[in-house]
Structure 1
Amino acid sequence: MRVVCVAGARPNYMKIKPVMDALEARGAEVLLVHTGQHYDPAMNDVFFADLGIRPPDRFLGIGSGSHAEQTGRVMTAFEPLLAEVAPDVVVVVGDINSTLACALVTAKAGPLLAHVEAGLRSRDWSMPEEVNRVATDRVSDYLLAPSPDAVDNLRAEGYREDQIHLVGNVMIDTLLANLERARTSDVLDRFGLAEGAFGLVTLHRPANVDDPEVLTGLLKALGEIAGRLPLVLPVHPRAAGRLAEIGVPGGVRLVPPAGYLDFIALQDAARVVLTDSGGVQEETTALGVPCVTLRDNTERPVTVEQGTNVLAGRDPARITATVHAVLDAPPAPRRPDLWDGRASDRIAEVLLTGGTADSRPRPTDRPRTKARPKARPKARPKDRTFPI
């Protein structure tokens, strides 16, 4: 079987690497396509090196631009590539513009389409990622869900049972595979930090960093928290200029963007993590580190219900009060089921056999519309019976 795996930005790399490894271990021919949505070395090259990802087989070089520009350029570049390599399956991960663009091309071209992290919902339509993930699910054949809440979302939206597979969280596969290496990092020494004696902050979402009033309020809260616990903030390129314009309060230390291993080491050693990142909510839950999310909602509610995450919103007073409460009484470490380092194995099982990811009984009242392809036809008719 020939499988095209698509990555485009930093959040994708930790998700696609274990899937590629699991597929190749079972004899699949895997082609890695990098769209180039992230191209800065600090957001790209260091992650390939840290994770041991081989150079991409194809690099589309899309670059930055508006949502429409990025999506359109990816579609235009990916369409002829797909016709040339004629894969059986295309695997897309996450919710970035490249994910949606490659999903739309694949849905019209004929190969089967698998979405890793299917079913996640914030229900916040102001987030571009919500549009991307919902639309990608809509045209996918295999919906590979990381948690039971994602499965519930897909069932509520009317997807067929034979499309939905609870596989677990591939981010945690990568985390567990690299945790001991991360713990040997010298990043704490380089920054003069002591384990448990600092808080870690990440800010990158447009709703938080593009609005000066919102960002000013967040920085005010960070300044108050830093009076109790020093904070370290690796600067995302999106936020760098705006932080410089507004000014960072005392006690909040800006550091360069961290590579994967260094960032895991920082999370692992932090007393608390403040973030607007979905991936960080998952990683801190797996690490058992208290996390305060600077958003009004999350597409990963399992990290709140079964993990160490607390939603604080964006009101400065509420954020400050939430962090103080977490510092006084940290949530007990809890890790959701199937966040066990074997999600990629279950994904490979589904894609290579057309079967289920686990042994639980599944409904049999509908015939399975997708089976393992026997060859690579130039075009394959698709049964796309999707909810209206």
Structure 2
Amino acid sequence: MKLLIVIGTRPNFIKVTQFKKLARERGNFDIDIVHTGQHYDQAMAGVFFEQFKLQPDHFLSLRGDGPADVFGHMIADLGSYMQDTRPDVVMVPGDVNSTLAGALAANRMGLPLCHLEAGLRSFDRAMPEEVNRILVDQLTDTYFVTEQSGLDHLKEEGLDVKSGTNAAHLVGNTMIDTIVAFDEQIQANPILKDLGIDRGRYILMTMHRPSNVDNAEGLNFILEVIRDVARDQKVVFPLHPRTRKKCEEFGIWSEMKALSNIVLVEPMDYFTFQHLIAHASTVITDSGGIQEETTFRQVNCVTLRENTERPSTLDIGTNTLVTRNLDAIRACLEQPKAGAIPPLWDGQATHRILDILA
């Protein structure tokens, strides 16, 4: 069977690292990975692909004037690639624009579509990712679901069971498969020694969502949080390019750099960042994937958002949602949340998916 996987961002790639390895072991799959170029930085990508010892088979040339034009070209180029390669099945992971473009191209080419991370819902249509998730699931034939909420949402939308073998399957989380597969390299990473920080004695922070960094109010609240929590523990803050740009635009970059007990660093490679997650006392974030990674690591997580599409991290895991409330954040640090790991987050999700597709 020839399986085409469409990716476009680093989080996408993290979710599919084990497919080619397991396909080689099984011998009954030909895995083709195409990168749309949605988010592609050569300097970072080279390190990223080298760590996983895995390169996409094909890169599209991102082109167009403006978001709509770029998106249209992405669909057209993916359609042409599918016509040339004729896969048996197309898989799209996640919820980014490349996910939707891959789904639309597969639909127009009459190819069966699988959605990895199907059924997740934040119920916030102001988020482009939420719109992408809803539209992709409407086009999907086979749903691969990471948590029970995904099954529940698909059932509510009448999408959980279709004719023949097409249905929703709770398979676990392929992002956890990547952590498990590379945990030896993650644990051996020297970043804490390099920074002179002890395990469990620092807070890791990441912020990049428009609601938090595209306005002065959000950025000033982040500064307020850092000032408060850094009185007790060092804060390690890998700066997303968007976040740094907005700090400069709103004139608070010099103030950010002047904060005490904070380590501002450039975006990190996968092994380094995962080591920081694994040994932090708490992670403060607005990322979706980090909510899952901290739950798997059983690390206290404070998510600065009004909603999440990953409720298992709240109901089962170590995650807590907070809004712009410093007292609530302080309470989360004083009483870290104890949690468990959701069912099937065991490093075997990719195996289950290939079993279903075989």
Amino acid at match of 2:39: H
Residue aligning to 2:48: 47
TM-score of the pair, normalised by structure 2: 0.93
Deviations 1:311-334 (A, max 9, x none): 012x1xx2x323322232222241
Equivalents in 2 of 1:77, 1:42: separation in Å?
24
Cα shift at 1:58: 1.0
Deviations 1:25-76 (A, max 9, x none): 33211111011112113542222122221x2221003279754243222112
2:21 is the alignment partner of 1:11: no
Note if contact 1:306-1:336 (Cα within 8 Å) is conserved in structure 2. Answer: yes
Note if contact 1:62-1:74 (Cα within 8 Å) is conserved in structure 2. Answer: yes
Residue aligning to 2:108: 108
Residue aligning to 2:196: 192
**1:345-356 equivalences in 2 (<5 Å):** 345-352=351-358
Cα shift at 1:104: 0.4
Note if contact 2:91-2:113 (Cα within 8 Å) is conserved in structure 1. Answer: yes
2:172 is the alignment partner of 1:168: yes
2:279 is the alignment partner of 1:266: no
Note if contact 2:277-2:283 (Cα within 8 Å) is conserved in structure 1. Answer: yes
Note if contact 2:205-2:284 (Cα within 8 Å) is conserved in structure 1. Answer: yes
Unaligned segments of structure 2, at least 5 residues: none
Given candidates 319, 336, 347, the residue that maps to 1:341 is 347
Aligned residues: 347
2:314 is the alignment partner of 1:304: yes
Equivalents in 2 of 1:46, 1:269: separation in Å?
22
Residue aligning to 1:183: 187
Amino acid at match of 2:12: N
Equivalents in 2 of 1:347, 1:228: separation in Å?
44
Equivalents in 1 of 2:120, 2:42: separation in Å?
29
2:190 is the alignment partner of 1:209: no
Deviates more, 1:67-76 or 1:124-133: 67-76
SS of residue in 2 equivalent to 1:332? coil
Note if contact 2:63-2:73 (Cα within 8 Å) is conserved in structure 1. Answer: no
The verdict on how the C-alpha distance between 1:66 and 1:325 changes in structure 2, with shifts beyond 3 A counting, is farther
Deviations 1:223-257 (A, max 9, x none): 21212222111011111222243231333321011
The verdict on how the C-alpha distance between 1:270 and 1:63 changes in structure 2, with shifts beyond 3 A counting, is farther
Amino acid at match of 2:149: D
Residue aligning to 1:232: 236
**1:1-388 equivalences in 2 (<5 Å):** 1-26=1-26, 27-41=28-42, 43-53=44-54, 55-62=55-62, 66-161=66-161, 162-244=166-248, 245-247=251-253, 248=256, 249-313=259-323, 315=324, 318=325, 320-352=326-358
Note if contact 2:302-2:320 (Cα within 8 Å) is conserved in structure 1. Answer: yes
CA RMSD of aligned residues (A): 1.6
Deviates more, 1:208-217 or 1:118-127: 208-217
Equivalents in 2 of 1:344, 1:238: separation in Å?
32
Greater relative contact order: 1 or 2 (C-alpha under 8 angstroms, separation 6 or more)?
1
TM-score of the pair, normalised by structure 1: 0.86
SS of residue in 2 equivalent to 1:115? strand
Amino acid at match of 1:89: V
Unaligned segments of structure 1, at least 5 residues: 353-388
The verdict on how the C-alpha distance between 1:153 and 1:42 changes in structure 2, with shifts beyond 3 A counting, is farther
Deviates more, 1:278-287 or 1:204-213: 204-213
Equivalents in 1 of 2:25, 2:220: separation in Å?
49
Amino acid at match of 2:117: E
Amino acid at match of 1:351: L
